[in-house]
Structure 1
Amino acid sequence: MKTEASLETRKMADQMPCYRDACNDRRIKAVEYRANCSIRLARLTPDKWYRGLPRRRLTIAAHTYEHISMALNCLEELLPLVS
C-alpha cells in the first residue's frame, strides 16, 4: 500500500525534466517508427548512475529479430556514445 507521501514524491519525479524528456525523446520515437517496434525506458532511479549520467533499463519489443536489430542500429546512430 502506497502512502500519500510516496505518491506525491512519484508525481514530482515524473515531472522532472530529465525523466519527462527521456520518455518523450523524439529520437526514440523516430526509432520506434523506423523499426516498427516499441521502446520503453525504466523509471529513473537516483541510485543508478554511470559516469555522471543516469542508467536506465531499455526494453525493445518487436515482432521479429530483424526489427529489434534495426532498432539497436538506429539507437547507436542517433544517441551519443558515452565513453
Structure 2
Amino acid sequence: MKILYFAWLRSKIGVPTETVELPAEVATAGALVEWLKTRSPRHAEALANSKVVKVAVNQEHVPYDHPISSTDEVALFPPVTGG
C-alpha cells in the first residue's frame, strides 16, 4: 500500500510517502492509523491525536471505518480550512 503524508504529518514523520505491507488484521482506515503508530516513534508522535488526522483512500475522503486493501493509495493529512 502506498501512503502519502501531508503538512505537519509529513514534517513529523520525516517522509512524504512510504510503501508498506499491511498485516491481515489492518482492514480499515482507522486500523491503519493505529498500526502506523507502531512503526516508529516519529509515527507515534505524529499520529498521537488521531482525531485530527483525516484520511483519503484513492483520492476520496473517507471515515475511519472505511475498508482498505493493499492496492489502495491512502493519504493522511490534518484538517484543511480555506478562506
Per the normalisation by structure 2, the TM-score is 0.32
TM-score normalised over the length of structure 1 = 0.32
Larger relative contact order (C-alpha < 8 A, sep ≥ 6)?
Answer: 2
Q: Which has the higher strand share?
A: 2
**Higher Cα radius of gyration:** 1
Q: Higher helix proportion, which one?
A: 1
